[in-house]
Structures are given as structure tokens and as C-alpha cells.
Chain A
Amino acid sequence: MSDRVLVSTRKGLFTVDRRKLDQWEIARTSFLGDNVSLALADPRDGAWYAALDHGHFGVKLHRSEDQGATWTEIAVPTYPEAPEGHVEKDWMGREVPWKLIRIWALEAGPASRPGELWAGTLPGGLFRSKDRGATWELLRGLWDHPDRIRWSGGGADYAGLHSICIDPRNPDWMAVGVSTGGVWFTRDAGATWECRGEGLRADYVPPGQAQDPVLQDVHRLAQSQVEPTTFWIQHHNGIFVTRDEARHWEELKEAGPSIFGFPVVTHPKEPATAWFVPAIKDERRIPVGGSVAVTRTRDGGRTFDTLREGLPQVHAYDLVYRHALAIDGSGDRLAFGSTTGNLWVTEDGGDRWHAVAGHLPPIYAVTFVP
């Protein structure tokens, strides 16, 4: 079980430690006042990574070797110069810069490849580092795919690659999720890619294009580590699950208060178990009825529990972003944080929640330290 959570917020990175049951405390603050968009705790060597967006000064990456006591700035992924005269426009007709706008995914590589890191970015890039972030390379196989120009902004102005799933069977097999751009699979370490979206549905495009796999707004993608052919999606239009590696996606139309939301996590040992945080769909983006809830399925999506104990049920307007729900290696402990600076943890899979903090800055991402 993990006793430590990293909370990335609009105004800094917070390290939250468990003292005992229902007693989690902020143990350290880092980058106070700075916009921390994402953090990663590498289970292989214990290093921590924090992605910062300074606005005027751009996107930065820092690494800590001592659990956040000190940080060193390292390289960020950089885009190649666009070919002379090349003007790229996305599916919506908007110009796409070949420049780093945001780091939107950070994942450690497999144990067999120490030092390997992966980053997903806006606009729509997938980058690999083989040296703990000292250098990065853009995976041209995906960037140069002819369908990439059909991606477009979902929650941001540009398409963003937010989910990176490295297959536990073979580290050359990967799946990535893009908002908006669907789910992409590679079996050759990123040289070639295939978009698989049969069964997904996009209500926000004309009806004739609703089934186009490249136009799917995947909010978050999660792969089972024990049954890697199973993936869960929280999509703009609902919740989907596949058990055959995305040859077909099944839509789950009943899932408690709402099928809309941003995050999803799946149990590390039980592929049929997954959690979501529902909200009123896209035009409003607040909890249903002003009541914060987490939904959980334990039977592959046939039924959902709506978990409310310990969560505010009156006039609560917390929205939970796609990286702000996390699960630890045991599957018992989860944590989530909201745009209004609330942080909750559970130690029993969500049956009961404990409020850790109520006045944090807007929370972008939450992750357990292994």
C-alpha cells in the first residue's frame, strides 16, 4: 500500500503523507506559487518528476532524487521545426504550432528499461527519453501519421495526448489516448500506429462522422495490468470498455448519476473493477445535484455503485480533471482532487472517503508514490 500522494495544483506541488487511518497530512510543498500540471513518481529508481507551466516562461520539467527536498531542472520535449512554408491546420481549421504547449502525460518505462520515460504533450505529441529526461525524442511514427491532422482540441485549443499505457506483456506494445483523436495502438515501439475505435460514438460531430475512430474525444484511457486486453475509457460521450484490445468497444449507458466525466482508473488486480467521477455533461461540468460522488463497477460495467460516504452532498461544485483520480498498487487506496481544491482519500476502495484538505489551489493531477 502507498502512504504518500503527490498533488499537482495551479499553485504548487503538495506531498501528502498518511499518518494513520483518516489522518493524511501535507508533509511538504514544492514550487509554491507555480503552476504544476503533472507529477510522476518513478517506481524503478524513486525519482520524482514535476511538469511546470510558467506561462510567460514556458513549460519546464524538474526531477527530484530526494523525495521533493530539492529539484533540478531537466530538459523538456521539444518539437522539430516545421518544414519551410508548412502551415498545419487541424480538423477544425485551426493552425497547429510545432511547439511545446503543455506536458499532459508522464509515465515511467518498464523495469527492463531503466531511465526510459514517456511524455504526452499538447499539441498531440508523444516523446520518449532514454536517459531520465536529459534528452527527448519525438516519435515521428505518430506525429507524421496522416490522420494526426484530423485531431483537434478537446479541453484545450490543441489536441492533447493524455494517456500512455505501456503493455505489461511487451514494452514495445503501447496504447495512447488523445483528446480529441481517439485511441492509438503500436506493436513496434512506436514506429507504426493503428487507431481502434469501433463502437465509440461522438455526438459532437455531424451524424455521418459520429463513428469515425479518429474523432473520438477520449478523456482518459486505462489498461488492466493483469488482463491487458481490457481497457476502460471515460469518453466525452460516456463510458466504454473493451475486452479484446479495442477490436470492439462496448458502451455502458447506465453508470449512476452520470456517464460524463474525465478520469477513470482500473483496479491493479481486478480487470472488471473501475472507478469514475461523474459530472453533468459538457455544457455545465458540475457534480449532479451539487453532490460529489464516485462511481464504481466491479462486474465489468453491468452495474455501478454510487459512492458518497464522506463526500459533500450539498452545494458542492467540484470538478475532477482527467489526471486527478489515482489508485495505489493494492487497489484499496484511491485519492482524488478537484478544481475547487478539495482532496479526498479512501482506504477501502471507495466505500468511505476522508477529506484531506479543503483549501488547496485548483488540483490538476494526483498520483500515489509507489
Chain B
Amino acid sequence: MAHLVFTGNLQRHVPCPPGEYPGTCVAEVLEAAFRERPMARGYVLDEHGALRHHMVVFVDGTAVSDRKRLGDPVGPGAEVYVMQALSGG
């Protein structure tokens, strides 16, 4: 299980409290969260499942490199943060 935290700025649009979600890669962990909160998906991912241009995901403090398929591995007990990239202003 990974500990998943969404940026506080998303809460105004879609409530997404921190939680524990299963998965061995970023895509699986996010999918588990989106099954609970389907409205959140479009705020984080685009229509093709890629990370939105001005969003960033950190796994244990490192920004993921696979922004298209979200294949970066997630180990047991990892901390996954979904944040806004500073590039977006």
C-alpha cells in the first residue's frame, strides 16, 4: 500500500483526502484512488491518461519520469504526492 496525498488546491474542486492505496506503479495507485473518486481523474490526468502538463507526481520525494503511462515503480509504504507544477504559475 502506498500513502497518497493530493494537493490541497484540488480539494476545493473535488474532495480527495489522503489515503492508503494498493499498486506497484503510479498508474495503479492513482487508479485505485480514482475508483473511489472518479471526478478527480480529469483534474490530474488528461483525456488520454497522461499527467496534465502542469501537474507533477512525487514518489518518495522524486518527481516521476514517465508522465505519459505513469509507470514509475511504487514500493510498499511509499509516499506519493500529487502536486501542482510551478510551471503552471
Mark A residues whose CB is within 8 Å of B.
Answer: 54-58, 60, 73, 76, 78-79, 81, 98-100
Given A73-B39, A76-B42, A57 and B48 touching (CB < 8 A)?
no
Given A73-B39, A76-B42, A56 and B47 touching (CB < 8 A)?
no
B22 to chain A, nearest CB (A): 25
Q: 4 tightest A-B contacts by CB?
A: A78-B47, A57-B43, A56-B54, A56-B88
Which residues of chain A are within 8 angstroms of B13 by Cβ–Cβ distance?
A: 54, 57, 60
Are B46 and A56 in contact, CB atoms less than 8 angstroms apart? no
Which residues of chain A are within 8 angstroms of B46 by Cβ–Cβ distance?
A: 58, 99-100
Are A55 and B88 in contact, CB atoms less than 8 angstroms apart? yes
Q: Which of B27-52 contact A (CB under 8 A)?
A: 39, 42-44, 46-48, 52
Which residues of chain A are within 8 angstroms of B39 by Cβ–Cβ distance?
A: 73
Are B48 and A58 in contact, CB atoms less than 8 angstroms apart? no
Chain A residue, CB-CB nearest to B55: A56
A12 to chain B, nearest CB (A): 13
Given A55-B88, A99-B47, A60 and B42 touching (CB < 8 A)?
yes
20 cross-chain CB contacts under 8 A:
A54-B43, A55-B54, A55-B88, A56-B52, A56-B85, A56-B88, A57-B10, A57-B13, A57-B42, A57-B43, A58-B42, A58-B52, A60-B13, A76-B42, A78-B47, A81-B48, A98-B48, A99-B46, A99-B47, A100-B47
Total B residues in contact with A, Cβ cutoff 8 Å: 17
Q: How far is the CA of A76 from the CA of B47 in the complex (A)?
A: 10
Q: Is B61 an interface residue (CB 8 A)?
A: no
Which residues of chain A are within 8 angstroms of B84 by Cβ–Cβ distance?
A: 56
Which residues of chain B are within 8 angstroms of A57 by Cβ–Cβ distance?
A: 10, 13, 42-44, 52, 55
Chain B residue, CB-CB nearest to A55: B88
Which residues of chain B are within 8 angstroms of A60 by Cβ–Cβ distance?
A: 13, 42
Q: How far is the CA of A219 from the CA of B48 in the complex (A)?
A: 30
* Residue in A55, A58, A81, A98 with the greatest tally of chain B CB atoms within 10 Å: A58
